[in-house]
C-alpha cells in the first residue's frame, strides 16, 4: 500500500527536506580538492545539528555515517573516510537523509570538482535532466510507469547506462516505503499516483555499462567497467499538476 500523508506529516517532511537541501547546498559550496570524504560528512553533521534534524542514514541497516559520498566509478553508498581525498576533476555524488519529528527527507546530487571532461558534463546534465523529467511526470492521476519511463527515455537518447539494481522509493515515516520506483519502465503501467503520496525519485546513470557490483566493504556500489556515474535525487509531494519538491531550498 502506498501511504497518503496528512498536512501535519507533510509539514514535518518539508522541515526534513529543508535540512537535507541546506546540507547539500553547503557541501556544494565548500567542496574542494584536498578535502576528505569525511570532511563532507562533517559539514552535513553540523548543518543537521543546527537545524534540529537527525541523520537518516546513520545506523540504517548498520550504515556508519551521515552521508554517502561516491566518487567517479562509485555509484552510491560510498562510506566517508579521512583517507579518501577528493581531487580536481572528480565527480562527487553526495546522498543524504534527515529526520524531523519522525519524518524523512532524502536527496542526492553529483558535484563536479574543478574542470571535468565534456562527456562527464553530459553525464551530469543528462542525469539531472532525467530527474526533472521524472518529477514532471509525477503528478496526481499519473501512473508510476510514466515516471520510470520518462527517466529511462532521457538516458536512452544520450546513450547512457541506467542502473537497474537500485530504485527510487516511497518515503515518509520510514526512509524506504512502497512503492519501489525503477529508473526504467513502461508508460501507462503500475499504480496510480495520488495527492498526498511522498516519493523519492533518484536516477543513477553511467557513461558505460549499467552493470554494478559491491566493493568488499559491503556498501560501496561501483560500475563493473570502472566508468563514471552520476546520481541525482529529490523527495517530492504528489499533487495535482507539478509535484512539490521537498528537498529544495
Ligand atoms: N539514499 C539512499 C536511498 O535512497 C539511502 C542510502 S542507504 C544508507 O536508498 F544506508 F546509506 F542509508
Ligand atoms: Co533515496
Residue 110 belongs to a domain with what CATH number? 3.90.230.10
Q: Report yes or no on 71 lying in a domain.
A: yes
Mean pLDDT score of the chain: 98
Q: How far is the CA of 204 from the centre of ligand 2 (A)?
A: 11
- Ligand 2 centroid to Cα of residue 226, in Å, is 23
Q: What angle do CA 47, 220, 72 make, to 5 degrees?
A: 80
Ligand index nearest the alpha carbon of residue 60: 1
What are the angstrom distances between the C-alpha of 90 and each of 15, 39, 116?
Answer: 31, 16, 7
Q: From the CA of 166, give the closest atom in ligand 1.
A: 9
Give the number of the atom of ligand 1 that is nearest the alpha carbon of residue 169: 4
Please state the rounded mean pLDDT for residues 47-58: 98
- Residue 53 domain-assigned? yes
Residues 244-248: what's their mean pLDDT?
98
Can you tell me the mean pLDDT for 32-41? 99
Whole-number pLDDT of residue 41: 99
- Cα of 176 vs centre of ligand 2, distance in Å, is 7
pLDDT one-digit tens code per residue, 156-205: 999 999 999 999 999 999 999 999 999 999 999 999 999 999 999 999 99
Q: What are 99's three cell numbers?
A: 529526520
68 CB near ligand 1 (under 6 Å)? yes
57 lines ligand 1 (CB under 6 A): yes
Confidence of residue 4 (pLDDT cuts 50, 70, 90): very high
Does some domain include residue 2?
A: no
> Residue 247 CB: number of other CB atoms within 10 A?
28
pLDDT of res. 112: 98
Q: What is the mean pLDDT of residues 41-61?
A: 98
Pocket flag, ligand 1, residue 200 (CB < 6 Å): yes
Structure confidence at residue 219 (pLDDT): 98
In a domain, 223, yes or no: yes
How many structural domains comprise the chain? 1
Query: What does the alpha-carbon distance between residue 235 and residue 23 come to, in Å, rounded to a whole number?
Result: 15
Percentage with pLDDT > 70 across the chain: 100
User: Each residue of 56-106: pLDDT tens digit?
Assistant: 999 999 999 999 999 999 999 999 999 999 999 999 999 999 999 999 999
Structural domain that includes position 68: 7-245
| Mutate-to-test residue for ligand 1 from 41, 61, 175, 179, highest number of ligand atoms within 8 A of CB | 175
Cα separations (Å) of 205 from 48, 72, 177, 182, 220? 28, 12, 23, 12, 16
Output the pLDDT for position 214.
98
Amino acid at each position: 500500500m502506498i501511504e497518503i500523508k496528512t498536512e501535519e506529516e507533510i509539514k514535518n517532511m518539508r522541515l526534513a527536506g529543508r535540512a537535507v537541501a541546506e546540507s547539500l547546498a553547503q557541501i556544494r559550496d565548500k567542496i574542494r580538492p584536498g578535502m576528505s570524504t569525511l570532511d563532507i560528512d562533517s559539514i552535513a553533521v553540523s548543518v543537521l545539528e543546527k537545524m534540529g534534524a537527525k541523520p537518516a542514514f546513520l545506523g540504517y541497516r548498520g550504515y556508519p555515517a551521515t552521508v554517502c559520498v561516491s566518487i567517479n566509478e562509485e555509484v552510491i553508498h560510498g562510506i566517508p573516510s579521512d583517507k579518501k581525498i577528493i581531487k580536481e576533476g572528480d565527480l562527487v555524488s553526495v546522498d543524504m537523509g534527515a529526520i524531523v519529528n519522525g519524518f524523512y527527507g532524502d536527496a542526492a546530487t553529483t558535484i563536479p570538482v574543478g574542470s571535468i571532461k565534456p562527456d562527464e558534463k553530459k553525464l551530469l546534465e543528462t542525469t539531472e535532466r532525467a530527474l526533472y523529467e521524472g518529477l514532471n511526470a509525477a503528478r496526481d492521476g499519473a501512473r508510476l510507469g510514466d515516471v520510470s519511463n520518462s527517466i529511462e527515455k532521457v538516458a536512452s537518447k544520450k546513450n547512457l547506462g541506467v542502473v537497474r539494481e537500485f530504485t527510487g522509493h516511497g518515503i515518509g515515516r520510514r526512509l524506504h516505503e512502497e512503492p519501489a520506483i525503477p529508473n526504467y519502465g513502461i508508460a501507462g503501467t503500475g499504480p496510480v499516483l495520488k495527492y498526498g503520496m511522498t516519493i523519492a525519485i533518484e536516477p543513477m546513470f553511467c557513461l558505460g555499462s549499467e552493470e554494478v557490483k559491491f566493493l568488499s566493504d559491503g556498501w560501496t556500489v561501483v560500475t563493473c567497467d570502472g566508468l563514471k556515474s552520476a546520481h541525482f535525487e529529490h523527495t517530492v509531494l504528489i499533487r495535482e499538476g507539478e509535484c512539490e519538491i521537498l528537498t529544495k531550498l
